[in-house]
Amino acid sequence: SAVISQKPSRDICQRGTSLTIQCQVDSQVTMMFWYRQQPGQSLTLIATANQGSEATYESGFVIDKFPISRPNLTFSTLTVSNMSPEDSSIYLCSVPSYRVGETQYFGPGTRLLVL
Amino acid sequence: SQQGEEDPQALSIQEGENATMNCSYKTSINNLQWYRQNSGRGLVHLILIRSNEREKHSGRLRVTLDTSKKSSSLLITASRAADTASYFCATDGGDYKLSFGAGTTVTVRA
C-alpha cells in the first residue's frame, strides 16, 4: 500500500494570502489527485496532477486559484491563492493503488482555516 | 462533481445492531466504492464493487449494487463503537476520478 504524507497538517491563514500544500508519496505514481472537503460536506475533486504535463481541472476550479505543481512521480503541491474564508476546507491528495479491489489511497489531509 | 446522494444523512444505533446506508448515483460507472472517515481525518477505503457485480462481502461489511437503479447499499453488521464515523460512497467512471456522495454520519451508542 502507498503511504502518503501531507504538509502542513493544518494552518490558519489570513484572507488574501496564499498557502502551498505538499503531498509526498512513498512510491512512484503517474496520477495524483487533489480533493477539497468543505466543512460538513463531502469531497470534491479539484484537479488531476500528472507528472510532465499541466494539471487538468474539474469544473468550477481554475489554475489561477489552485495552481498545482508535479515536479516528479512522488511529489505534488497545491497552492490555494488569494484565500477567502470560503476556502476553509480540508484538502486531500490521493493516488491510485492499481491493486485489485482498491483504487485510491488518501493522504491525511490539510485542514485550512481562513480568517 | 458530486453525483451521489446518500441516505440517511445521519444514523444512530445501539452497539450490536446493524447499520444500513444507501447511495444513489447518476451516470454510468466502472465501480463504486465505500470509504470511512473518522472525525474529519483521512479517508479509509472499505470496499469496492465493480459494475458487473451485485453483492460483495468483507468481514462485517456487505455491499450491494443495482446498476439498473443506479444505487448501492452498505450494511455494517454487529456494529461497534469504533464504527462511529462518516461513510461515503464514491463512483469511478474508469479514470480513477472519484465522485463522492454526500455521506452518512453513523453514531454507535455503547
Any bridge partners for residue B105, and if so which? B10, B86
The length of chain B is: 110
Cα separation of A72 and A74, whole Å?
A: 6
Cα separation of A11 and A24, whole Å?
A: 18
Instruction: For cell 467512471, name the residue.
Output: B93
Interface of A with B (CB under 8 A): 31, 33, 35, 37, 41-45, 48, 58-60, 90, 92, 94, 96, 101-109, 111
- pLDDT number for residue B1: 44
Task: For residue A97, give the C-alpha cell.
Answer: 493503488
- Greater model confidence, B79 or B95: B79
In single-letter form, the type of residue at position B99 comes to S
Q: Which residue of B has its CA nearest to A96?
A: B96
Angle at B82 between CA A8 and CA B51, to 5 degrees: 80
- pLDDT number for residue B66: 97
- pLDDT number for residue B36: 96
The arithmetic mean of pLDDT across residues A80-90, rounded, is: 97
Nearest CB partner across the interface for A104, out of B1, B41, B98: B98
Within 10 Å of residue B96's Cβ, how many Cβ atoms?
18
Cα separation of B7 and B103, whole Å?
A: 8
Confidence of residue A2 (pLDDT cuts 50, 70, 90): confident
Chain B environment of A91 (Cβ under 8 Å): none
- Greater model confidence, A73 or A102: A73
- From the list A12, A17, A7, the residue with the least C-alpha distance to A81 is A17
Percent of chain B exceeding pLDDT 70 equals 95
